[in-house]
Amino acid sequence: MPSSPDIQIEVFGKTDVGLIREHNEDNFLIADVTAGMRSNSLGEPLKLAVGEKGMALLVCDGMGGAAAGEVAAQMAVDAVYETLAAAPPMPRDGFARALRRAVENANEAIFIQSRDNQSERGMGTTCTVAALNDSTLVVAQIGDSRCYVLRQQRLAQVTKDQSLAWQLIEAGAMTAEEAKAFEHANIILQALGVQDQVEVVLSQVALRQGDVVLLCSDGLHGPVSDEEILDVLTTEADLKRAGEALIQKALDRDGPDNVTVVLARFGGSGLPAPASTDVVNFVGYDPGPDPANEMHTPLAPMIPSTGVATVQERIPPELLHHDDVVTKADDDRRREMMDSGQVTGPTVASRSMRSVLALFFLALVAAAVGGISVMKCERDRTANGETRGGGP
């Protein structure tokens, strides 16, 4: 494998419990895989160079109540790092496949522990990882934590939330403005550990000198708008102060959730300078099947929405009352349901994301001509009896 390009990275990460929750179920990772260095606690920004085995940034947002969400998030951090550390140096496609496999391994580990331990039954976590071993950032996504790239004073989201609100926006059934007040913004379509398999969505970004990458949980992007995030990142050059300012923005909005921020600035002669025509957006990445798993298949294509008069009319009511999507449910309501026998654990999921999306969009189409029954599942997200809101 050719030697690694000269890419220098300055990185900072911080997590905060927020103002409402007792437990912090978020977690993050900053890892120089080549050097065998990993951290989820930084007092000051850290400077790294990209080596032959690469580096990784990760944010997880755990769920499950009590300490179970913390367990799931920590297991995801550990499994992703250990898989990448065990992999040999590889060209980008192999590296991307290893990253995908790392997230799948995390899902399997959490699912098994959740299944086998009553106190952790139904736990899960979102997982967003940005990693590289050359000049292209590879992003792996499960759930609704996000990755943004700031380039030339413009901020672009390079992940797609795996949430009901986001799918409605992409289907044309709801605007981004409507999504801010959407009653069911707490429904996500995938999380690690709640089913035996997940579909890892990969994207890629060709990096430029000066790019700033932000990974965050929805404790930030829920209460804080993209415009406000952009304002902080363009006015505060110091990564530590920028990260702390972003967290403070969330706390100023009553800190309804745990909030986690990881920031990285990229430079070095191994990256080209940005051109005026450079545009950053979501670019899907398919590195091909894992040689050890030829059965890996991409997500099913989206079925366009037909669109109806109002947001609520555009959503089949049955979608919100069945066992196939994952929701962030109130702990008190969850306990009442468990006592009455309506549910048996804090989080369940019975289908792959591909099936969920196919059923969901079929339901949208059918709703315009009379509606059909579809299925839904509940996701427990809070540890204090407060329902977590979130952005689209």
CA pair distance 27, 140, nearest whole angstrom:
16
Give the residue numbers spanning the domain of 44. Answer: 8-267
Beta strands, E only, the chain: 8-16, 26-32, 37-39, 46-49, 55-63, 124-125, 127-132, 136-142, 146-151, 154-157, 187-188, 201-206, 212-216, 259-267, 326-327
Classify 334 as helix, strand or coil.
helix
Is residue 127 assigned to a domain?
yes
- Any domain includes 213: yes
Q: Is residue 24 part of a domain?
A: yes
pLDDT at residue 325 in the model:
53
Residue 47 has pLDDT above 90, yes or no: yes
Average pLDDT over residues 210-221: 97
Residue 350's pLDDT band (cuts 50, 70, 90): very low
pLDDT in tens, 75-97: 999 999 999 999 999 999 999 99
Question: Which alpha helices (DSSP H) does 117-238 contain, by range?
Answer: 164-170, 176-180, 218-221, 226-235
Residue 307 has pLDDT above 80, yes or no: no
Residues above pLDDT 90, as percent of the chain: 63
Percent of the chain residues past pLDDT 70, beyond the cut:
73
**Average pLDDT over every residue of 341-351:** 35
Poorest-pLDDT segment among 107-111, 299-303, 316-320: 299-303
Among 77, 40, 78, which Cα is nearest to 60's? 77
Q: Is 136 within a domain? A: yes
Instruction: Find the range with the poorest average confidence among 224-228, 252-256, 307-311.
Output: 307-311
Confidence of residue 308 (pLDDT cuts 50, 70, 90): very low
pLDDT, residue 324, reads 47
Phi, psi at residue 221, to the nearest 5°? -75, -10
Considering its fold, how many domains does the chain have in total?
Answer: 1
For residues 144 and 60, what is the distance between their CA atoms, to the nearest angstrom? 10
262-271 pLDDT per residue, tens: 999 999 999 9
- Domain assignment present for residue 212? The answer is yes
H/E run at residue 213? strand 212-216
Q: Is 70 exceeded by the pLDDT of residue 318?
A: no
**Residue 247: inside a domain, yes or no?**
yes
Q: What confidence tier does 292 reach under pLDDT thresholds 50, 70, 90? A: low
Q: pLDDT of 237-258, one tens digit each?
A: 999 999 999 999 999 999 999 9
Q: What's the whole-number average pLDDT of the chain?
A: 80
Residue 318 resides in a domain: no
Q: Residue 47 pairs with which residues in a beta bridge?
A: 10
Residue 260 placed within a domain: yes
Instruction: State the CATH number of the domain containing residue 107.
Output: 3.60.40.10
CA dihedral 252, 256, 260, 266 (to 10 degrees): -50
The pLDDT score that the predictor gives to residue 314 is 46
Residue 157: pLDDT band by 50, 70, 90 thresholds? very high
Tell me the pLDDT band of 326, cut-offs 50, 70 and 90.
low
* Mean pLDDT, residues 24-51 taken together: 96
Residue 348 has pLDDT above 80, yes or no: no
* Mean pLDDT of the 64-80 span: 91
Residue 80 buriedness (CB in 10 A; 0-12 / 13-18 / 19+)? buried
184 to 101, 187, 228: CA distances (angstroms):
31, 6, 24
Question: How does residue 38 score in pLDDT terms, banded at 50, 70 and 90?
Answer: very high
